[in-house]
Structure 1
Amino acid sequence: MPTIKHIGPYRFFFVSLDYGEPPHIHVQREKMVAKFWLDPVALQKAGGFKAKELNQIAKLVQEHQDEFLERWYEFFGR
């Protein structure tokens, strides 16, 4: 599970077994893990986060979308 970035309390990472899925990023804080599609950015799984915090995380994913997509394709290929 390569970590791509840390922003505040959040760890953004990929799961190596996810290569068959569309580009996405997992976001972890403590024991909660959400999943966001990257193109377009959309919540796929809330993973225990409350709606307000998910909105904040979605903004972070949107801000770093290009970087996350670039890293996805570097890791999984096109």
Structure 2
Amino acid sequence: MPTLIKINGFKFFFYSNEHEPKHIHVLKGEEFAKINLANLEVVFSSFKNKDLAFVLEVLKEHKDEFISAWERYFND
């Protein structure tokens, strides 16, 4: 399970056996989200709105970096 970044207790990662479309999982405590990277569409989230807004801001800032990490991991 490659972890891409940990910030303010949020862990951004993908699983080693992932599938398209490119997406990121985010975990904090018992809360969880799955978000597509191409358009930042929230597939699932149990986060409160405030936390989800934070997660989406982090994803906006690191989107290109996360896509590159996905492509390196799955295409190498």
User: Normalization by structure 1: what TM-score?
Assistant: 0.87
AA in 1 matched with 2:75: G
- Tell me what 1:13 maps to: 13
Please provide the CA RMSD for this pair.
Answer: 1.4
Does 2:39 correspond to 1:44?
A: no
- Tell me what 2:31 maps to: 32
User: Normalization by structure 2: what TM-score?
Assistant: 0.89
- Tell me what 2:55 maps to: 57
Distance 2:75 2:65 in 1: 15
Runs of 4+ displaced beyond 2 Å: none
Compute the displacement of 1:17 (Å).
2.0
AA in 2 matched with 1:2: P
What are the ranges of 5 or more consecutive residues in structure 2 without an aligned counterpart?
none
Compute the displacement of 1:21 (Å).
2.0
For residue 4 of structure 2, give the secondary structure of its aligned residue in structure 1.
strand
Identity among equivalent pairs (%): 37
